[in-house]
């Protein structure tokens, strides 16, 4: 078997594809392949209910100021560096397991932003060691102020991500002078990868 047929070559190819999918070198949202027809999310919220969303001291980040659907959206910004965050056991979200996840959401800002949407998978049995830490630079994607913009990312789950790992999702906006809003967050298992 040649190097180009080896598992290492496939792993390098997936890593390169992941970097391209996340738009590491572009100022616009990358095109991702479509999800399977009829595919249902493993997590979905428009913040009308907060099951799985934690940090009671950050409830002020759930707002009615701007919402894409329903009455509520999540915000971070001035005096709210971190939003309310989601935390859930990977095995509960993905009982059949998965190789990749697709995160989709809609973001809104009134001014240019450097806010980040963080998707993290940690191992509680290893002092919350991160096995996945993806940050979507929303300012590179949300280039028009005053309108809702779709954002998405495709994330590979490494073998280190066990069913007991915790998936975390939150907005982070350090040094903010304005606000970023997030709504209609969904997480899918990517079966067509």
Q: What is the pLDDT of residues 18-59, one digit of tens each?
A: 433 333 333 445 565 566 666 788 988 888 888 788 776 778
What pTM was estimated for this model as a whole? 0.78
The answer to whether residue 16 is domain-embedded is no
**CATH number of the domain where residue 111 is located:** 2.60.120.260
Question: Is the predicted pLDDT of residue 184 greater than 50, yes or no?
Answer: yes
Closest CA to 74 of 189, 173, 142, 163: 173
The answer to whether residue 3 is domain-embedded is no
The answer to whether residue 19 is domain-embedded is no
Write out the residue range of the structural domain in which residue 146 sits: 40-189
CA dist 100 and 109 (Å) reads: 29
Arithmetic mean of pLDDT, 183-187: 94
Arithmetic mean of pLDDT, 62-77: 93
Using CB atoms within 10 A of its CB, is residue 139 exposed (0-12), middle (13-18) or buried (19+)? middle
The answer to whether residue 5 is domain-embedded is no
The answer to whether residue 22 is domain-embedded is no
Arithmetic mean of pLDDT, 2-8: 42
Arithmetic mean of pLDDT, 111-125: 94
The answer to whether residue 33 is domain-embedded is no
Ramachandran bin of 23, using left for φ above 0, alpha for ψ from -120 to 50, beta for the remaining angles: left
Please report the pLDDT score of residue 17 as a whole number.
40
pLDDT tier for residue 89 given thresholds of 50, 70 and 90: very high
Number of domains in the chain: 1
The answer to whether residue 119 is domain-embedded is yes
The answer to whether residue 1 is domain-embedded is no
């Amino acid at each position: 078997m040649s190097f180009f047929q080896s598992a290492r070559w496939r792993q390098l190819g997936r890593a390169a594809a992941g970097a391209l999918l996340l738009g590491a070198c572009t100022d616009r949202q990358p095109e991702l392949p479509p999800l399977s027809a009829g595919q249902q999310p493993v997590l979905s919220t428009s913040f009308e209910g907060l099951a799985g969303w934690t940090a009671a001291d950050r409830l002020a980040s759930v707002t009615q100021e701007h919402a894409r659907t329903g009455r509520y959206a999540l915000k971070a910004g001035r005096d709210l560096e971190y939003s309310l965050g989601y935390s859930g056991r990977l095995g509960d979200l993905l009982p059949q397991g998965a190789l990749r996840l697709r995160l989709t959401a809609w973001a809104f800002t009134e001014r240019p932003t450097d806010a980040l949407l963080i998707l993290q998978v940690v191992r509680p049995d290893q002092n919350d060691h991160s096995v996945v830490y993806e940050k979507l630079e929303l300012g590179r994607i949300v280039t028009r102020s005053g309108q809702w913009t779709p954002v998405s990312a495709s994330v590979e789950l490494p073998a280190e991500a066990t069913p007991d790992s915790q998936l975390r999702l939150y907005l982070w906006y350090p040094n903010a002078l304005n606000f970023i809003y997030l709504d209609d967050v969904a997480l899918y298992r990517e079966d067509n990868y």
